[in-house]
Amino acid sequence: AIDVRALLGQNGLLTYDPGFRSTASCQSAITYIDGDAGQLLYRGYPIEELAASCSFSEVAHLLMYGELPTAEELTGFQRNINDHNLLHDQVLSFYHGFRRDAHPMAVMVGVVGALSAFYQDAQDYNRDADQHKAAIRLVAKMPAIAAASFTYSIGRPIRHPDNRLDYASNFLQMMFGKPNEPYHVDPVLAKAIELILILHADHEQNASTSTVRMAASSGANPFACIASGIATLWGPAHGGANEAVLNMLEMIGSPDRIPDIVRRAKDKNDPFRLMGFGHRVYKNYDPRAALIRDTTRQVLAHLGMENSPLMATALELERVALEDEYFIAKKLYPNVDFYSGILLRAMGFPSRMFTAVFAVARTVGWVSHWLELKRIGHGIDRPRQLYTGPTVRHLDKR
Ligand code: ACO
């Protein structure tokens, strides 16, 4: 029970808001969500328009610097990314310290954190140029870091980035291309991974972004800050939900078992929840879910997998849930994770890499928030607590 008197702390009134569910922790001009309307804006632009018309590099520039790039700025941005996308040989040797069966996110937390010991050219990151360089390095290297954590796990030599390819295609090539073999990047798959990267690039004060901002508020090294974001994203309640959706769809097996699963999801004595449904902020259809659903259909058709039982089950589950009183009353709609696992699996990503793909995308959001925080300053974050332990007591040493 909360002792209301404890709300009156030594320094005046405290508010008690576990997990900051109703508290804005900062001001930010990057991403806006209207959860009731199901609207997501990056720097004011609707996500649907960006997804339809922009490359990931353009969206990254928008999030990091506030505006879509001119043609000249885009060329400069891409050149900058290409100049920094290789992993130094010594960085590659970090990988050999990990067990091959380590989770890719565990490897990524370690490797990105270790970059703070590797790039020591700026210690305080107070200069614009140093901040910019760190942000570019992180965005540029993250696909190679993620892909190497996968190729290392299966014992395949890593494939270096190819600067003739765009960001999304390069990621696919590093993931799936065999060393020294020419690799044809399927444009339909490249477009699909680009969509996934755009849709996951930022989402205001989610757990991992808030973690990055809190780490940054102490003035910590940017590579260490982003490593803390990767660690937070790894949790199944955050970045791991699409894998849980896939497991659920496999457990359901076929559309005729859906009524039973929906009944379980509504049963308050059963801890089971419909994975990929509901969202802390969206009380309407997550706009990202609709975009991923359409692309999943296209990719499955392109790959000759239009009869995918997983997709048939997902579509039917969505239809049934959206007509069900329980889901309507509680405003539970598909979220971004509902279809993304089906799409990633169809493209060949093993489920252990799903969260790593999310981390590649979200790095743009994390560095955008880091840059914003550096620019506006903020002071160190220091939440308070309600103490629930014993009152003062004394040692009884006899
Ligand atoms: N299936 C069945 N019932 C649900 C579901 C669900 N997926 N989600 C919420 N509910 C019910 C709860 O049981 C609760 O019912 P009650 O009012 O009778 O107690 C009510 O809806 C509100 O639930 P909360 O957990 O309080 O809602 P909140 O907005 O805090 O939770 C959350 C959001 C955690 C995402 C939740 O909807 C959930 O667990 N979904 C399934 C997991 C999932 O898909 N996670 C991915 C989220 S997206 C992302 O992180 C990128």
Evaluate: CB of 277 within 6 angstroms of ligand 1: yes
CA–CA distances in Å: residue 268 to residues 225, 263, 265, 273, 326: 39, 10, 8, 10, 12
Which pTM value belongs to this model? 0.94
Asked if residues 197 and 57 have their Cβ atoms less than 8 Å apart, the reply is: no
Instruction: Provide the sign of the torsion angle of the four alpha carbons 385, 390, 393, 396, taken in this order.
Output: negative
Measured distance CA(122)–CA(301) in Å, rounded: 49
- Per DSSP, the residues of 233-254 read HTSTTTTTHHHHHHHHHHHH-S
CA of 333 to the centre of ligand 1 (A): 10
- Give CA angle at 105 (32, 294), nearest 5°: 50
Ligand 1 pocket test: pick from 332, 333, 354, 362 the residue with the most ligand atoms within 8 Å of its Cβ. Answer: 332
Angle at 173 between CA 168 and CA 175, to 5 degrees: 95
289 lines ligand 1 (CB under 6 A): no
CA atoms within 13 Å, Cβ hemisphere of 19: 5
- Please, what is the Cα angle at 57 between 28 and 33, to 5 degrees? 30
Q: 57 CB contacts (<8 Å, ≥6 apart)? A: 69, 74, 77, 78, 81, 166, 167
- Give ipTM to 2 decimals: 0.96
> Residue 292's Cα: distance from chain center in Å?
15
Cα 332 to averaged position of ligand 1 atoms, centre (Å): 7
Q: What pLDDT tens digit does each residue of the chain (398 aa) get?
A: 556 565 555 667 889 999 998 999 999 999 999 999 999 999 999 999 999 999 999 999 999 999 999 999 999 999 999 999 999 999 999 999 999 999 999 999 999 999 999 998 888 899 999 999 999 999 999 999 999 999 999 999 889 999 999 999 999 999 999 877 777 789 999 999 999 999 999 999 999 999 999 999 999 999 999 999 999 999 988 888 888 999 999 999 888 999 999 999 999 999 999 999 999 999 999 999 999 999 999 999 999 999 999 999 999 999 999 999 999 999 999 999 999 999 999 999 999 999 999 999 999 999 999 999 999 987 999 999 999 999 999 998 87
- Identify the active-site residue in 200, 203, 337, 369: 337
State the distance between the two ends of the chain, measured CA to CA, in whole angstroms. Answer: 35
Q: How far is CA 68 from CA 31, 32, 36, 64, 134, in A?
A: 14, 17, 27, 10, 20
| 362 pocket-lining for ligand 1 (C-beta < 6 Å) | no
By C-alpha distance, which of 190, 219, 171, 210 is closest to 31? 210
Query: Does residue 334 have its Cβ closer than 6 Å to ligand 1?
Result: no
Say how many Å lie between the CA of residue 108 and the centre of ligand 1: 28
Q: What pLDDT, on the 0 to 100 scale, is given for residue 11?
A: 64
Atom in ligand 1 nearest the alpha carbon of residue 203: 51
Is the beta carbon of 257 within 6 A of some atom in ligand 1? no
Angle at 126 between CA 123 and CA 127, to 5 degrees: 105
How many C-beta neighbours within 10 Å does residue 133 have? Answer: 18
The catalytically annotated residue of 202, 279, 286, 324 is: 279
Q: Where are the alpha helices (DSSP H) in 85-186?
A: 89-95, 104-118, 128-153, 167-176
pLDDT the model gives residue 7: 59
To test the pocket of ligand 1, the residue of 277, 283, 328 to mutate (highest count of ligand atoms within 8 Å of its CB) is 277
> Has 238 been annotated as catalytic?
no
Tokens of 3: 């002792």
Q: Separation of 28 CA from ligand 1 center, angstroms?
A: 26
Q: Whose CA is nearest to atom 31 of ligand 1?
A: 280
Give residues with Cβ within 8 angstroms of 100, minimum separation 6: 152, 153, 154, 155
Specify the 3-state DSSP secondary structure of 8: strand
Establish whether 286 is a catalytic residue: no
DSSP characters for 249-301? HHHH-SGGGHHHHHHHHH-TTS----TTB--SS-SS--HHHHHHHHHHHHHHH
Candidates 247, 262, 280: which one to mutate for ligand 1, based on the most atoms within 8 Å of Cβ?
280
